[in-house]
Every structure is written in C-alpha cells, then in structure tokens.
C-alpha cells in the first residue's frame, strides 16, 4: 500500500480532532495540562500525527500490536478490569483492518483475554489465532479477523515474550491504549498513587524492544501514568499529583519511563484511539473506516456482558470513565461528522452546487 499523500485540510482537521478528544467531559481536571505538554512536544496535532505515522508504516497484511487492559481493583481479583481501553483497541483494530489492510493483534493480561475478545468481536471482526488472522487477510472469501493474545505479567517472562512476538510477527507498529507504564524503578502506579504492578502485563518490554528495532510506536493515555507519557515525564513528575512519588515513595511516582514515537493525550483513552482512527479515515478518504454510533453501542454492551467495570463508578454498565454509553455514541457521531465535512469540502463541487 502506497504512502498516503498529504491532504489539503490535514492540519486543520487534525486540530479539530484534537479539540474533540481533549474535551474534559469527565471533568477530571488533568487533560488540559497533559494535552498542552504533549502538543508542545509534537510536530503537529497529536491524533493526525499518529495516523500519518501508521499510514506511512503499515502495509496490507502487516501485523499491528495493540496493547490494552487495566486490571482495576486487583486487590480483590485481577479479573476486574475497566472499560476504558478495550473499546478503543477494538475500534482501532477495525480501522486498521478497514483502512490499511492490517492484521490487528490485541495484547492483554492473561485473565482478560476472553473478555477482550468479546469486545473486539462486537466490531464484527472475528477473533482467531494470529496465524489464522493473517490467513484470513489473504482469503478469497471475505473473513475479517483480529487476534487477542495474553501477554505475561511476570517480568522475565515478558522480556522473553516481547522478543518472541517481535521475531515471529515482525509488526509494523505497536500501539498502547490506556496501558499502565513502568516508571524508572520498574513500577506501575494508578493515578491515585497506588502501586499496581503485580497483575499488569509488562508490555513496556515489548515497546522498548520495538523501539530498538525501529518499529513505529504510539502511546495513548488520559492520566499521565500510561505507556507513552514518558515523552512528557518531567512535566508529569513536577506538576501532577503523585508524579514524582506515589504513596510509597521508595517505588517512585506515576510518571512512566517507556517512550513512544508519538503520544496522544486524550480526556478518555478510548477517545484518543477513536481520534487516531478518524485520522486514518481522513487520510484514506473513507469515513467508513471509522466506526459509527451503532458499533460504539455494541462495544459498550459487550464490555458490560464481559464484566468490565466503569473505572470511575465501579459498576458493570455500558460506558467508560463515568460517562454513560449514549455520551460515547454521541462523541463518535460528532467525530464522524467532523471528518465527513472535511472530506466533503475537499471534493470538487457538483455543477450547480453552491455550497
């Protein structure tokens, strides 16, 4: 697949997408700073910069790793996880498949594989093994597939698995969505300053090894403690609660240490992933690449059926970060319309059309 040529409205639309994904609808009060710091570090609008990186690096049948999953309340059981992350990973998997012909492989904690697969299949993608998904991409009869794999929580096992996956699948890119990042001491923290490393997949090692191999990497986060936020870690350490030191100062603070090529700071990480998908849709000139409100409703319904909880309310219910599913559906509708209008304005007007 050829590199996507620059489109005339790319910069302007990128700004509008970033405005949408950084709207502080959940009223957490941190995204304004995170976005400003990330934007100061970036060459242009965050989501569009990431979209262009993928459009230039990902070829048809390329594997793209998408890491997500955040065990929430692991002191009770590691099988409790939040709804911010898996829907974004699923929607991005669909966009990568539709827009770039990629084979998406979602990486999550071993305890979350089955639940995450349910969310991915809510997009219409069939969850298969990675090799089956690659075969599906070459099938004459239509079959649209992705894979969901466990990634180890044990540090040494994670290091080995990172090398194995990169050797086996030679991915074109790695994307982390709402994925806790290790600090300089190797610990992952919640935004409340609690150390929560034990049950978290150690995908930092995958991203670190991917960077050494010059594989494109993208991090998406909303709190300052996710993979990719190392691009602005000094600002986080100095200005965000628990940035430099968590509740146990000996284990460092929430600011991560694993870098990515691009950081997308969003008010909700799912929205950052949707913004990235919107950028791909624009660059490919096809709004159908970005999922619609009906698919968004299915994603959240599937998350509830799979027992994901809203990380803010603590309830098993359709929604994420304290906002009910209809709010997320409205967001997707607005995002799609924003891209659609940009594409319409770039088409030559029909004779007699004075718009």
For residue 43, what pLDDT is reported? 95
Using a cut of 0.85, tell me whether the model's pTM lies above it: yes
What are the structural domain ranges in the chain? Answer: 10-346
Residue listed under structure tokens 């603590």: 314
DSSP 195: B
Give, for all 355 residues of the chain, the pLDDT tens digit.
Answer: 444 567 778 999 999 999 999 999 999 999 999 999 999 999 999 999 999 999 999 999 999 999 999 998 888 898 899 999 999 999 999 999 999 999 999 999 999 999 999 999 999 999 999 999 999 999 989 999 999 999 999 999 999 999 999 999 999 999 999 999 999 999 999 999 999 999 999 999 999 999 999 999 999 999 999 999 999 999 999 999 999 999 999 999 999 999 999 999 999 999 999 999 999 999 999 999 999 999 999 999 999 999 999 999 999 999 999 999 999 999 999 999 999 999 999 876 554 444 4
CA end-to-end span of the chain, whole Å? Answer: 33
Q: What is the pLDDT of residue 353?
A: 43
**HEC string for 115-143:** HHHHHHHCCCCEECCHHHHHHHHCCCCCC
Instruction: Give the separation between CA 274 and CA 214, rounded to whole angstroms.
Output: 25
Which residues in 211-243 are b (16+ Cβ under 10 Å) and which e?
beeebbbbbbbbbbbbbbbbbbbebbbeebebb
pLDDT confidence of residue 284? 96
What is residue 321's DSSP assignment? Answer: T
Distance CA 62, CA 329 (A): 30
Spatial distance between the Cα atoms of 355 and 344, rounded to a whole number of angstroms: 10
pLDDT at 1: 41
pLDDT number for residue 2: 44
Q: Tell me what pLDDT residue 349 has.
A: 53
In the prediction, which pLDDT does 352 show? 47
Burial (Cβ within 10 Å: 0-12, 13-18, ≥19) of residue 23: middle
Residue 75's pLDDT is what?
A: 84
- Torsion over CA: 187, 193, 194, 199 (sign): negative
Judged by phi (left if over 0) then psi (alpha if -120 to 50, else beta), residue 307 lies in left
- In Å, how far from its chain's centre is CA 247? 28
Phi, psi of 163 (to 5 degrees): -65, -45
10 DSSP assignment = H
pLDDT of residue 93: 98
DSSP output for 78-105: TT-BBSSSHHHHHHHHHHHHHHH--EEE
Give the count of beta carbons closer than 10 Å to the beta carbon of residue 259: 18
10-346 CATH choice from 3.90.1640.20, 1.10.3720.10, 3.20.20.10, 3.40.718.10? 3.90.1640.20
């Amino acid at each position: 697949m050829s590199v996507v040529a620059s489109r005339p409205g790319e910069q302007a639309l990128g700004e509008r997408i970033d405005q949408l994904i950084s709207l502080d609808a959940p009223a957490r009060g941190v995204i304004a700073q995170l976005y400003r710091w990330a934007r100061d570090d970036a060459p242009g609008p965050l989501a569009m910069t990431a979209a262009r990186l993928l459009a230039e690096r990902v070829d048809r049948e390329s594997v793209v790793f998408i890491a997500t999953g955040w065990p929430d309340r692991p002191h009770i059981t590691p099988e409790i996880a939040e709804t911010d992350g898996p829907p974004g990973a699923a929607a991005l998997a669909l966009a990568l498949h539709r827009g770039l012909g990629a084979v998406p492989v979602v990486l999550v904690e071993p305890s979350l594989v089955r639940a995450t697969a349910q969310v991915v299949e809510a997009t219409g993608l069939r969850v298969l093994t990675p090799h089956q998904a690659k075969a599906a991409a070459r099938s004459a009869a239509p079959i649209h597939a992705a894979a969901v794999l466990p990634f180890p929580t044990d540090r040494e096992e994670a290091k080995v698995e990172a090398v194995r996956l990169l050797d086996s699948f030679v991915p074109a890119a790695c994307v982390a969505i709402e994925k806790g990042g290790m600090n300089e001491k190797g610990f992952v923290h919640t935004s409340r300053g609690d150390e929560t490393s034990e049950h978290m997949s150690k995908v930092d090692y995958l991203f670190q090894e991917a960077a050494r191999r010059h594989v494109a990497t993208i991090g998406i986060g909303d709190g300052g403690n996710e993979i990719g936020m190392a691009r602005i870690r000094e600002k986080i350490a100095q200005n965000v609660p628990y940035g430099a030191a968590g509740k146990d100062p000996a284990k460092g603070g929430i600011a991560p240490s694993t870098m990515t090529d691009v950081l997308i700071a969003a008010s909700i990480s799912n929205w950052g992933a949707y913004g990235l998908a919107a950028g791909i849709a624009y660059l490919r000139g096809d709004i159908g690449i970005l999922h619609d409100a009906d698919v968004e409703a299915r994603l959240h319904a599937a998350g509830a059926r799979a027992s994901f909880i809203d990380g803010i309310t603590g309830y098993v219910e359709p929604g994420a970060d304290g906002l009910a599913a209809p709010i997320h559906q409205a967001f997707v509708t607005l995002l799609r319309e924003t891209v659609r209008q940009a594409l319409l304005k770039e088409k030559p007007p029909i004779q007699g059309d004075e718009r």
